[in-house]
Structure 1
């Protein structure tokens, strides 16, 4: 989708063209030193987190030999995710965001140290692994709203789509390369090296975050409380276009997330060798979009792009379930990953360009639940459908249900389809406020 305003053709003539127009927009990187520090910090600690992401279930498997014990890791992570995500959003609005990020990052480093010590014991214990998994989920849930609500403070309003794209690029690079690196480290160096490297990455990340400017709460921020959390929920409910982004993402992830059944799909296609490629296909598709995301800064009707890309995600997942050739399955999974990234970029742009500063943390907490709980519960749906109806039927039916649900949501939420960042009242108000504050800050 391109600019459909009267001046769209003139803008296209003046803007970048050809291959250059597809490359990521580096304007936030050039304009903000704090953005660069946070971006590099996230890249480094993200690689370390993938080491633990792979090492932890491997260690549980080695100590227990039980698939149920490995699956229980997700169970202990779910409750802290829900509780701390909502309360973490209230904390992000009420406290200095920089300090909150530093302390939670340092806390995760300490948890990596606990895993390292346990792994080096002659007889490692299992229970600390579950405690660390739960505490890590809590810390991430507290940190993420602070981090998400900090970006709009350090990035210019007009650069937010580009900033979301660059952050997505960082995530997808980690999602593709991180697990591969983690597998090599765990297999050839051992669990202790994986946990130790994760600890080092958190230490480096803290050093980088300490150097960014402080980010105190706004004067209108509410103290952390249930009332403050409900205030954020009421605001989200009153913003139907915003509510639509949460609902669309939940529908897409709950109905069409296929990760739980990929091992069985590989077996059914008589291509056990392809399982790793299936897991990598989704982030690989996302990576392609991130590397060619320059066009996203020239799109203004973000709501339509969220709906279209989420519906196409469902169609691509359905196609992956229908086809019987493993290479086509991999292709459609990559297409699905690309569509998911497009949806994520424009959801992030809508959130960051319209939500008031004093509510941004609490809305980021709700956002965290929308994109975290959906995939978690979606694994239950896909697994249950596979047991009842068959593996491939679970995949294609979920994709079709997703496309239908997204279409129904588009009909029920016309404000989402009409959203235009140039004319939306919330975006205009926030843009004017940032412009008015700029001379005072200078």
Structure 2
């Protein structure tokens, strides 16, 4: 009995039986740890060079703008050429940029502008590759395993979000910037290996040119599918509860400073990682539209409750609960996109997904900061969470397509061989 219960609760690892997906999962998971190491190292190096927080603000902008622009274009490219080639070219470019970071650190170059340029190019490469990696999932695993594959991906990313900064602190303390970037370069070779071993993934019969017209065609398709654009709206709404811009001030004023900020920053990712390991039930939920609304409401309420906590341990626990809810909502949003979009449009819509996922938290940071200035950090934190919970319930009630959505395929056929995956998706 206990073994059967554990099997239903533990993360569904069946997608790992498919060799191509397994290699990509391992490669991306390992590489993302290195990406996190570089993210911390670049910020620390920029601060050491400039002694100005403004330059680290410019780093965020240098990463965001190419990510949004090239994610949309990269999605169009993914629909026009062999997706294996897109992943290979983009991955090699990102690896070369990492080697350039190693080189400038070894040479002792102290140029904040060079760091901005390298971060921008690396972000552009990631933006091209990321939509393609999402678009190929339904071609690597059976349709019934797509939610489980997405859960594995989100869980690996959450683990890396915890392990990467910890590793960065250790490496920076003992070996410096060049060593940190070198760790990223070495780990990224695993992702390159995974990309080289992918089978050919040519576009379908209805190929397009990767230009503005094809991008607009993808956006037009999304506009005609309420379920699709609602999934993006829900993501943007959910991220308005993100309280991370408030962590430094509340760590200093409410939780005693020191390592409190680190615990607050890592709590959501820790919760998502633990939630992923206990996510065997996620793919078995049939009413996934309702589950998506409930998950985002739980995320908002958990964040609001954490904002009311006056003990650090309680705030961390509540944020971790929110991280579990955020993982679940992310899995369902990604699955809706992958099973609703036809293969010839999946890359472009994954590009929109990448842009939304990148921009949403930054808009949340802006909301939190402005609201904290107008009121107080506590009001901003709690108010953001409560507003998100209320807004997502209103959206769920206002749009029946969310309540009706159920994935149609749970067999072993590839998703491209399935009938329409989303009954009533057109609203």
* TM-score, normalising length: structure 1: 0.91
Give the distance between the partners of 1:348 and 1:302, measured in 2 at CA. 12
Q: Secondary structure at the match of 1:293?
A: coil
> 1:28 is matched with which residue?
15
Aligned-pair CA distance for 1:372 = 1.2
Corresponding residue number in structure 2 for 1:135: 121
Unpaired segments of 5 or more residues in structure 2? 422-427
Contact kept, 8 Å, 1:106 with 1:203, in 2: the verdict is no
Q: In the alignment, what sits opposite 2:161?
A: 175
Q: Give matches, 1:230-249, under 5 Å.
A: 230-249=216-235
Counterpart residue number, 2:346: 360
User: For the residues of structure 2 that align with 1:216 and 1:299, how far apart are their CA atoms?
Assistant: 32
Q: Is the 8 A contact 2:255 2:310 kept in 1?
A: no
Shift of 1:428: 12
Describe the superposition over 1:171-217 as per-residue Cα deviations: whole angstroms up to 9, x where unpaired.
Answer: 11111111111111112211100111211222332122101101111
8 Å CA contact 1:242–1:416 kept in 2: the answer is no
Secondary structure at the residue paired with 2:148? helix
CA distance in 2, matches of 1:78, 1:309: 27
How far has the Cα of 1:123 moved from its partner? 4.1
Q: What whole-Å deviation, never above 9, does each CA across 1:258-299 have from its counterpart, x for those lacking one?
A: 111101111121421311111111001101111011111211
Q: Please state if 1:262 is matched with 2:247.
A: yes
Matches of 2:53 and 2:320 in 1, distance apart? 28
2: distance between equivalents of 1:342 and 1:248?
Answer: 13
Q: Describe the superposition over 1:413-437 as per-residue Cα deviations: whole angstroms up to 9, x where unpaired.
A: 210111011389xx999553699xx
- RMSD between aligned residues: 2.0
Name the CA distance, whole Å, in 1 between partners of 2:414 and 2:112.
53
1:405 alignment partner in structure 2: 391
Give 1:323 shift: 2.1
Q: Which residue does the alignment assign to 2:306?
A: 320
Conserved 8 A contact 2:143-2:415: no
Cα distance in structure 1, aligned partners of 2:29 and 2:209: 32
Among residues 73, 77, 86, which one is paired with 2:59 in the alignment? 73
Superposed, 1:139-154 pairs within 5 Å as: 139-154=125-140
CA contact (8 A) 2:142 2:414 kept: no
CA contact under 8 A between 1:51 and 1:178: conserved in structure 2?
A: yes
> Do 2:11 and 2:277's aligned partners in 1 also have CA atoms closer than 8 Å?
yes
- The aligned counterpart of 1:8 is none
Cα distance between partner residues in 2 of 1:96 and 1:276: 42
Aligned partner of residue 146 in structure 1, secondary structure: helix
The correspondence of residues 281-292 of structure 1 with structure 2, limited to 5 A, is 281-292=267-278
Q: 1:286 to 1:122 in 2, by over 3 A?
A: closer
Among 338, 351, 369, the residue aligned to 2:324: 338
Pairing 1:158–2:164 present: no
Contact 2:79–2:346 (Cα < 8 Å) also in 1: yes
CA contact (8 A) 2:408 2:420 kept: no
Report Cα offsets for 1:356-398 as digits up to 9, x if no partner: 1000001101111221111012111111111221111110011
TM-score, length basis structure 2: 0.94
Corresponding position: 1:115 with 2:101: yes
8 Å contact 1:256–1:402 — kept in the other structure? yes
Of residues 127-136 and 317-326 in structure 1, the stretch that sits farther from structure 2 once superposed is 317-326
Tell me the CA shift for residue 118 of structure 1: 0.9
The SS at the match of 1:17 is helix
Matching of residue 185 in structure 1 with residue 171 in structure 2: yes
CA shift, 1:334, in A, is 0.6
Question: 2:281 matched to 1:295?
Answer: yes
| Cα gap change, 1:357 to 1:123, in 2 (>3 Å) | closer
Off by >4 Å, runs of 4+ in structure 1: 427-431
Name which of 204, 210, 218 aligns with 1:224.
Answer: 210
The answer (yes or no) to whether the contact 1:316–1:332 under 8 Å persists in 2 is yes
**What is the CA–CA distance in structure 2 between the aligned matches of 1:224 and 1:400, rounded to whole Å?**
41
Q: By how many angstroms is 1:221 displaced?
A: 2.5
Q: Give the CA deviation at 1:33.
A: 0.6
Distance in structure 2 (CA, Å) of the matches to 1:270 and 1:350? 39
The equivalent of 1:438 in structure 2 is none
Corresponding residue number in structure 2 for 1:390:
376
